[in-house]
Chain A
Amino acid sequence: NAGVTQTPKFRILKIGQSMTLQCAQDMNHNYMYWYRQDPGMGLKLIYYSVGAGITDKGEVPNGYNVSRSTTEDFPLRLELAAPSQTSVYFCATWAREAFFGQGTRLTVV
């Protein structure tokens, strides 16, 4: 079992570019989440999904979009990247506890 796999691990984007952060899980968990982590702020929820075809906004959704066409995959899309989106992004699943991926470190310059 790979658990929760995030790709890429690192990425540098220019302002205005777009990209998709990938998240895949092999645990057949219905609940999936995207968090961003900024120094001194803990983790903030961006979007979440309770199952394939169902997504909802979290605390900080602006500038992001998600889709959930399968149970396994939950990609996070950044359109028109801004410096404020420089952060570490974590994908997670839930089954009596949260299982986290290793994170994607994104820098927007």
Chain B
Amino acid sequence: AQSVTQPDIHITVSEGASLELRCNYSYGATPYLFWYVQSPGQGLQLLLKYFSGDTLVQGIKGFEAEFKRSQSSFNLRKPSVHWSDAAEYFCAVGHMEYGNKLVFGAGTILRVKS
């Protein structure tokens, strides 16, 4: 069965510090990979996506993610966090073979301290 694990429920970082959010998946094929961000009471905004090719993906708001096939991971990074980055982050996987249905991780809540 397909699954996504985000090991960290909460992460707190200082403003200006670097950030890495972890995502591991179990899937029948190399899936499409996504990171979404959700502010309280809001919908989901796509940060970045990976389908194939270069394993380092650049997204919006200064975020990037690296796909590591050998580790079944797709970790999200940002070199310098801003207070406005405080939100919940979701990793998701899917594939055309499975109807493009997205399987989501449980989410990581990011807190930024000044």
A74 within 8 A of B: no
Which among A13-21, A42-50, A60-68, A75-83 touches the partner chain? A42-50
B99 within 8 A of A: yes
The chain A residue sitting closest to B104, CB to CB, is: A42
Assign chain A's interface to a size class. 20 to 34
The chain B residue sitting closest to A43, CB to CB, is: B104
Q: How far is the CA of A96 from the CA of B104 in the complex (A)?
A: 16
Q: Interface residues of B: mostly helix, strand, loop or mixed? A: loop
Q: How far is the CA of A43 from the CA of B43 in the complex (A)?
A: 12
- Tell whether, in the assembled complex, residue A100 and residue B101 are in contact, meaning their CB atoms are under 8 Å apart: no
The chain A residue sitting closest to B9, CB to CB, is: A40
A42 contact set on B, CB distance < 8 A: 4, 90, 104-107
B87 within 8 A of A: no
B100 within 8 A of A: yes
B34 contact set on A, CB distance < 8 A: 97-98
Return the contact of B46 from the options A90, A97, A101 (Cβ within 8 A). A97
- Tell whether, in the assembled complex, residue B102 and residue A45 are in contact, meaning their CB atoms are under 8 Å apart: yes
- Tell whether, in the assembled complex, residue B43 and residue A56 are in contact, meaning their CB atoms are under 8 Å apart: no
> Which of B9, B42, B99 counts the most chain A CB atoms within 10 A?
B99
Return the contact of B101 from the options A33, A40, A101 (Cβ within 8 A). A33
Q: How far is the CA of A33 from the CA of B34 in the complex (A)?
A: 16
- Tell whether, in the assembled complex, residue B43 and residue A40 are in contact, meaning their CB atoms are under 8 Å apart: no
Interface residues of B in 78-105 (CB under 8 A from A): 90, 92, 94, 99-105
- Tell whether, in the assembled complex, residue A100 and residue B106 are in contact, meaning their CB atoms are under 8 Å apart: no
Interface residues of B in 27-74 (CB under 8 A from A): 34, 42-44, 46, 49, 51
What is the distance, in angstroms, from B107's C-beta to the closest C-beta of chain A?
5
3 closest pairs, A vs B, by CB? Answer: A42-B104, A43-B104, A42-B106
Chain B residues at the A interface, C-beta cutoff of 8 Å: 4, 9, 34, 42-44, 46, 49, 51, 90, 92, 94, 99-107
Given contacts A31-B100, A56-B99, A98-B94, 9 further A-B contacts (CB under 8 A): A42-B4, A42-B106, A45-B102, A58-B101, A94-B100, A98-B34, A98-B44, A100-B43, A102-B42
